């Protein structure tokens, strides 16, 4: 049987609806932002707003709801990185924000104390290392997802993770 001269294009997927995207992944983006930032409500809401604002303008890049999660993780990481850098710059002129407002209402007193100490240590790490470590160990993302979200190669992601892990393990050796 002769091959068809023209290959048929794949049928288009159903377009991603913004309302559905927001309803399904709003909570995920908020949790991811909170874990990466280690800070409370206002910062998290701003990040969620920025991420979905970008999503509303680039819906055409999101093929379907399954791919949307990875795309949102990447955008969230980028938005948080920008915010952390701004925060670090501001800390040169103002007092650093307190780590007491880590949004962990369900944690025990001991867990809360460790989290506050952890975010103090993360605050001193380079932003790229901090984000890679947070994605891997607080969010539980696999290595390739960490590399994708950080927009770097797998090797680079591993290098950043290793550097951050050495510091954190040293600080919490006795915990």
Partner 1 sequence: MSDRRWIVLGEKVDPKWDPERARAVREAITRRAERRRTAVRATFATASTGLILIGALVFVVRGRFPQPPARSTNAGVSALPAAPPIAVAPAGVVVVTPLSQDTVLEPLPDLSGRGFRLRAGGARFSVPHNAQHPFVVVAGTVTIEDLGTAFTVRYVGADRLDVSVEEGRVRVRAAGSDTELAAGATLRVPLAFVTESEPAHAPAGLAGSSWRALAKHGAYEDAHRALSEAGPGAVRDNGADLLLAADAARLSGHPADAVPYLERVVRRHARDSRAGVAAFTLGRVLLDELARPGEAIDAFAVARAAGGPLAEDALAREVEAASRAGEVARSRELALLYRRTYPNGRRTTEVSKFGGLR
Binding site for partner 1 (CB under 8 A): 22-23, 26-27, 30-31, 33-35, 38, 40-41, 44-45, 48-49, 52-53, 56, 102-107, 111-112, 114-115, 118, 134, 137-140, 169, 172, 175
> In sequence order, what are the residues at sequence separation of 6 or more whose Cβ sits closer than 8 angstroms to the Cβ of residue 32?
73, 76, 77, 139
Burial class (CB in 10 A: 0-12, 13-18, 19+), 129: buried
Tokens 């050495």 belong to which residue?
166
Instruction: Tell me how far, at minimum, the Cβ of 80 lies from partner 1, in Å.
Output: 13
Q: Which is nearer to partner 1, 13 or 154 (CB)?
A: 154
**Which is closer to partner 1, CB of 64 or CB of 169?**
169
User: Whose Cβ is closer to partner 1: residue 95's or residue 108's?
Assistant: 108
Whole-angstrom Cα distance, residue 54 to residue 58? 6
């Amino acid at each position: 049987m002769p091959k068809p001269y023209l290959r048929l294009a794949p049928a288009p997927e159903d377009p991603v609806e913004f309302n559905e995207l927001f309803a399904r992944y709003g909570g995920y983006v908020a949790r991811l932002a909170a874990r990466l930032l280690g800070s409370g409500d206002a910062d998290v809401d701003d990040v969620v707003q920025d991420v979905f604002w970008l999503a509303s303008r680039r819906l055409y890049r999101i093929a379907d709801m399954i791919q949307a999660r990875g795309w949102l993780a990447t955008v969230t990481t980028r938005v948080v990185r920008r915010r952390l850098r701004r925060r670090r710059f501001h800390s040169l002129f103002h007092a650093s924000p307190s780590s007491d407002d880590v949004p962990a209402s369900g944690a025990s007193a001991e867990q809360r104390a460790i989290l506050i100490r952890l975010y103090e240590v993360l605050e001193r790490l380079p932003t790229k290392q901090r984000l890679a470590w947070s994605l891997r160990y607080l969010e539980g993302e696999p290595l390739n997802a960490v590399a994708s979200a950080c927009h770097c190669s797998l090797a680079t992601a591993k290098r950043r993770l290793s550097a951050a892990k050495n510091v954190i393990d040293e600080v919490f050796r006795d915990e």
